[in-house]
Amino acid sequence: MLSTAPAPQSILHEIFGYDQFRGPQAAIVDHVVAGGDALVLMPTGGGKSLCYQIPAIARQRAGHGVTVVVSPLIALMHDQVGALHEAGVEAEFLNSTLSGEQANAVEKRMLRGEITLLYAAPERVTTPRFLAQLDSLYERGKLSLFAIDEAHCVSQWGHDFRPEYRALTVLHERYASVPRIALTATADAITREDILERLQLENARQFISSFDRPNIRYTIVEKKDATTQLLRFIEGEHEGEAGIVYCQSRKRVEDIAQTLSGQGIRALPYHAGLDGQVRQANQDRFLREDGIVMVATIAFGMGIDKPDVRFVAHLDMPKNIEGYYQETGRAGRDGLPAAAWMAYGLQDVVNQRRMIDESPAGEEFKQVMRGKLDALLALAEATDCRRVRLLGYFGEESTPCGNCDNCLHPPDIWDGTDAARKLLSTIYRVQQQSGISFGAGHVMDILRGKKTEKVAQFGHERLTTFGIGAEFSEAQLRGVLRQLIATGALSVDGQAFNTLKLTDGSRAVLKGETAVQLRESVSAPAESRRRKSATKSRPARHQRPGCEEAGSLRGRGAARRQRVATA
């Protein structure tokens, strides 16, 4: 006989020691306790675990049996099971850290109905052996609920695709009457659709929380000397505080960790290439000690529940907004002020773009990835509220937040349409004249009228575009190039020394049909300012309309420099 389930509120209070449900938790729990399917989108730290743990306990007590929790990471399982044990809940995990004997014991207990929550990796759940055990439970009405954690792993559009998740459709097909709850902290519209379709949750009720993390202040800066910028950021605003610095490559992780350590910052490296024990030791220190800065690749972070991470810095641009938001979400889980800081540059765009172009994936996939990269780049180049854009990306409307760099220090904007046209026509003429393409540096030299060796070697000072962009700083032109590459009006040939090539999308910009709006480079280096004044003596015939703009830019230099100082 099934008894009635205890009130979720009393489970929350008695087992977890909390007074109230947070946000949509109560509605989710009620829905799942009653046997409904659910898709839960909640930001990191929002309290997803209770959304299936409380139903699992309630349903177990009502005689429905065991809840199987699919989780992609061993560390995550261990944390959760450990915490449940402390709360006095019968929870176990099945994964490769158990000996055969231990695993057998867990399975036996599960079959006897002694376990409330069983955590397992997706590849384990879908083995014939495990399915046979689930069959046995199912036949006896003792299979209560499936919870699919980190559900975005099922989608190739998500930032953490795990093919094993695809096989989870077997759960629905084989155990049709068992409710399922899928949870994730990250899903834009396309990923969300994919989760619903792949896990056959089209009829599930969707619970979509606000993704806003108001205590996190977002700042995105243009990369100049990234290491120095990072040091300034940490020493100036987060001295002695715990933080995470994300880098693109293992080598860079090592270098930056060393540099920070050299400056007296307690920094540790973390990446998949490190010895397992070292990695574990570093992670433990980060969790236990105060004020450690973890320098890491994206291998670090999932399942790390450290409440007082005060900043997350990205030294290289991630692939997309989902990844960025997930990673920055690790800051300030305790609700106290925290910072998300990113430095990005032309090279990042070029690298990411090339990785997409050169990946063996199909064209449709590449198109989606390019679109996602563009969205992130648009966020980086944005002149309006970062949070409005971030939330907008996840389908949420909001008003300017007052707690991001753009809200706090509105950036100057300049119209890069003319510069974009000049850049594209230079690339066109160079290609026409020399029959080969060149990289960004050379193209900018031509446009700015620099008589370099290479310019002389190819006779590029004879091009009609030589020097017609003398009024633009290199930083400004780089900004224009980033936009052009990101929007597909220009492509980078990774097979040929990163040379720039015109695309079908170039025409609209060349004709002036597409406006190119840019944030003014906030930290033009002294070097480029000097070069700019050196070009003042250039003959008047090179001064085209754009120079008026350049004059007004110079006038705003003081304000710009002041912002650099506070950045």
Under the rule (CB under 6 A), what is the footprint of ligand ADP? 18, 20-22, 25, 42, 44-50, 185, 305
Query: What residue type is 348 in one-letter code?
Result: D
Query: What does the block give as tokens for 294?
Result: 């973890």
| CA separation for the pair 116, 147 (Å, rounded) | 12
| CA separation for the pair 401, 386 (Å, rounded) | 8
401's contact among ligand ADP, Zn ion, none, with CB below 5 to 8 A by partner kind, is Zn ion
Taking residues 300 to 339 in sequence order and writing x for each that binds Zn ion by CB under 5 A, - otherwise, the string is: ----------------------------------------
Residue nearest to ligand ADP (CB): 47
* DSSP summary character for residue 496: T
Residue nearer to ligand ADP on the CB measure, 51 or 369: 51
Query: By CB neighbour count within 10 A (0-12 exposed, 13-18 middle, 19+ buried), where does 544 fall?
Result: middle
Q: Cβ of residue 407: shortest distance to ligand ADP, in angstroms?
A: 26
387 binds Zn ion (CB under 5 A): yes
| CA separation for the pair 527, 27 (Å, rounded) | 59
Q: Which of 226, 350, 401, 477 binds Zn ion (CB under 5 A)?
A: 401
Inter-axis angle of helices 25-33 and 49-61, to 10 degrees?
A: 30
| CA separation for the pair 69, 182 (Å, rounded) | 10
Collect contacts of 529-536 with beta carbons under 8 A, ≥24 apart. Answer: 529/473, 529/557, 531/448, 531/473, 531/474, 532/471, 532/473, 535/448, 535/449, 535/470, 535/471
Residue nearer to Zn ion on the CB measure, 237 or 384: 384
Residue nearer to ligand ADP on the CB measure, 25 or 116: 25
* DSSP summary character for residue 539: -
Q: How many residues bind Zn ion (CB under 5 A)?
A: 5
Q: Cβ of residue 16: shortest distance to ligand ADP, in angstroms?
A: 7
21's contact among Zn ion, ligand ADP, none, with CB below 5 to 8 A by partner kind, is ligand ADP
Maximum Cα–Cα distance for the chain, whole Å?
A: 95
Residue nearer to ligand ADP on the CB measure, 244 or 257: 244
306's contact among ligand ADP, Zn ion, none, with CB below 5 to 8 A by partner kind, is none
Contact between 227 and 256 under an 8 Å Cβ cutoff? The reply is: yes
407 binds Zn ion (CB under 5 A): yes
407's contact among Zn ion, ligand ADP, none, with CB below 5 to 8 A by partner kind, is Zn ion
Strand pairing report for 38-41 and 205-208: parallel
Cβ neighbours around 269 below 10 Å, total: 26
Helix (H) / strand (E) containing 338 = strand 338-344
* DSSP summary character for residue 168: G
Residue nearer to ligand ADP on the CB measure, 119 or 233: 119
Q: Where are the beta strands (DSSP E) in 494-566?
A: 499-502, 517-519
Query: What residue type is 251 in one-letter code?
Result: K
Taking residues 366 to 385 in sequence order and writing x for each that binds Zn ion by CB under 5 A, - otherwise, the string is: -------------------x
Of 37, 461, 382, 463, give the one whose Cα is nearest residue 220.
Answer: 382
Q: Cβ of residue 380: shortest distance to ligand ADP, in angstroms?
A: 26
404's contact among Zn ion, ligand ADP, none, with CB below 5 to 8 A by partner kind, is Zn ion
Q: Cβ of residue 364: shortest distance to ligand ADP, in angstroms?
A: 32
Q: Cβ of residue 333: shortest distance to ligand ADP, in angstroms?
A: 7
Of 296, 224, 155, give the one whose Cα is nearest residue 525.
Answer: 224
DSSP string over 208-256: E-----TTEEEEEEE-SSHHHHHHHHHHHH-TT--EEEE-SSHHHHHHH
46's contact among Zn ion, ligand ADP, none, with CB below 5 to 8 A by partner kind, is ligand ADP
Q: Cβ of residue 186: shortest distance to ligand ADP, in angstroms?
A: 11
22's contact among ligand ADP, Zn ion, none, with CB below 5 to 8 A by partner kind, is ligand ADP
- Which value, to the nearest 10 degrees, does the dihedral of the CA atoms of residues 497, 499, 380, 153 take? -60
179's contact among ligand ADP, Zn ion, none, with CB below 5 to 8 A by partner kind, is none
Residue nearer to ligand ADP on the CB measure, 286 or 344: 286
Q: Cβ of residue 48: shortest distance to ligand ADP, in angstroms?
A: 3
Q: Cβ of residue 50: shortest distance to ligand ADP, in angstroms?
A: 5
CA distances from 207 to 43, 198, 259, 525 (A): 12, 18, 44, 47
42's contact among ligand ADP, Zn ion, none, with CB below 5 to 8 A by partner kind, is ligand ADP
Q: Cβ of residue 157: shortest distance to ligand ADP, in angstroms?
A: 21
Residue nearer to ligand ADP on the CB measure, 45 or 488: 45
| CA separation for the pair 158, 51 (Å, rounded) | 22
Q: Cβ of residue 179: shortest distance to ligand ADP, in angstroms?
A: 19
Q: Cβ of residue 51: shortest distance to ligand ADP, in angstroms?
A: 8
352's contact among Zn ion, ligand ADP, none, with CB below 5 to 8 A by partner kind, is none
Residue nearer to ligand ADP on the CB measure, 28 or 369: 28
Q: Which of 5, 33, 404, 446 binds Zn ion (CB under 5 A)?
A: 404
* Length of the chain as a residue count: 567
389 binds Zn ion (CB under 5 A): no
Residue nearer to Zn ion on the CB measure, 353 or 389: 389
Positions in the binding site for Zn ion (CB under 5 A): 385, 387, 401, 404, 407
